[in-house]
Amino acid sequence: MAEQKRPHNPNDSSFNLDEDGADGGDKDTTLDRIKTGAFERNVALTRMGVGAGAKIASHTMRNFFRRGESKDEANRNFYRAQAKELADELGRLKGSVMKAGQMLSLYGQYFLPEEAVEVLASLQDNTPAVSWAFVEPQLIDALGEKTVSKLEINRKPIAAASLGQAHLGTIKATGEQVVVKIQYPGVASAIDTDIRTLSRLISATRLAPKALDLSGVFNELRAMLERECDYVQEKAFTETFGERLLGDERFIVPKVYPEFCAKRVLTTRYEPGFSVSSKQVQALSQSRRNALAKSFAELFVTEFFDWQLVQTDPHFGNYRIRIDPQGEHDQIVTLDFGATRTFDSSFVESYGQIVRGSLQFNRKEIAQAVIEIGLMNPDTPPSVLEGFGDLTELIVEPFRKPFDSNVPDRLYTPGGAYRFGDTDLPARVGQTAALKMMSKHFKIPPQEIIFLHRRIGGVLVTLKTLRAELKLHELLKPHLGLN
């Protein structure tokens, strides 16, 4: 296939990022292939498990002679080293086992050491690309040589991730610039084996408490991976978001080209833009950054409360900023809908009750909704429910009315907007959670909560990155019946 030069666009500071956001276009290292066979993947991880067992025995013996802070520090270093070794091996294997490791970091905050969560979460930042010779057969097998011949494709990927990589291309007949997302061969068929192996490996490395049953977590990981490997479903979600945002000029959803799509291949229009954290976006005026931030927040609220359909992967690579040269209509390019989830009306209603109860300091409403949603049981002690109320009432701080006495004065502008750039809310939430939520009655949240909070956290990080100053209370009023 012919090499195609990347088109110049003055509004394009970087390539569109795919899946996990790792930019494969600038990687120095390229893998010739990935281990796709169950046997060779098992051998690699089993070898690591054996080595982990020996290190655990050695660490336990050395720690026997340590005391106090010295022992705690040794434990932290040990967990960090074990997790780093696990992450390195998952990164080399790529595929579903690496994606499962990333997803595990979301669940892991509830049962893994903090050091392990940090390392697993970093998996998305180091993903080498795979050679064109390895992925081209997958593309031809999916679309057929005749269809593939209608495209000019650059053999160097513009983005590489755990499940696949993306290549820039051109439709020969029209000259349209496209991004061809190709899933790595064997990824989907390896999911069951990878999940079982990762489960055993987490146990072997002693990263999770020995008595904790994680079968439910790994079952959920398996189901999520199967969804993310289904590009037909992702194509449908991309088209759905495109239709629903068609009349909203604030957003751009890439056009899908069905002729060049299949279960393991997805082709969409190339939509350039700047990263939210880029110097170009950071240099925008306060009013323009506020407008972008408000659009981000409104999109999430609309997805959850109105559509009950949420793109749950908030990585910066999935959202690009199209800067208007005239300075009036900056736009948000939304990418990658593989992690889109639907939510039941009952879940949305119960979650809304938690938010409403937290804003109105109604502990009874919070407790009722927490039990309904599956975070706690009916026999949960009142003290634990009270602790959860303390936490949620703090989390909704940016959504309170202007000049609320429960919000530090320094976080309001003279006009009553919340200063996201100056907030230390994440640190205060973490401290409160550590004090209030250490209880056997608090369960690992259901996957709906995990992935919803993933997106909410992403929205808040985006608003902080934009240094936004917003009044968000009005945004929730029509959905929660607030005054």
SS3 for 422-478 is HCCHHHHHHHHHHHHCCCCCCCCCCHHHHHHHHHHHHHHHHHHHCCCEECCHHHHHH
End-to-end CA distance of the chain: 61
pLDDT of the residue at 381: 82
pLDDT of the residue at 37: 53
| Cα 183 from Cα 289, distance rounded (Å) | 35
For residue 103, the one-letter residue type is M
Give the torsion sign (CA, 387, 304, 452, 121). negative
The Cα angle at residue 231 between residues 228 and 235, in degrees rounded to 5: 115
Q: Which segments in the chain show pLDDT lower than 50?
A: 1-27, 48-69, 71, 125-126
The answer to whether 331 touches 342, Cβ cutoff 8 Å, is no
Residue 66, φ and ψ in degrees, nearest 5: -95, 165
pLDDT of the residue at 436: 55
Structure tokens at 49: 């498990």
Find all residues with CB under 8 Å of 187, minimum gap 6, and list them.
36, 94, 95, 96, 163, 164, 229
| Cα 221 from Cα 216, distance rounded (Å) | 9
pTM score, two decimals? Answer: 0.78
pLDDT of the residue at 200: 75
pLDDT of the residue at 47: 54
| Cα 50 from Cα 56, distance rounded (Å) | 10
Strand order in the sheet with 319-322: 251-252, 331-334, 319-322, 274-275
Give the torsion sign (CA, 387, 389, 392, 393). negative
148-154 contacts at long range (C-beta below 8 A, 24 or more positions apart):
148/1, 150/259, 150/260, 151/1, 151/178, 151/180, 151/260, 152/1, 152/2, 152/4, 153/1, 153/2, 153/4, 153/180, 154/3, 154/4, 154/5, 154/6
pLDDT of the residue at 353: 93
pLDDT of the residue at 365: 93
| Cα 6 from Cα 1, distance rounded (Å) | 15
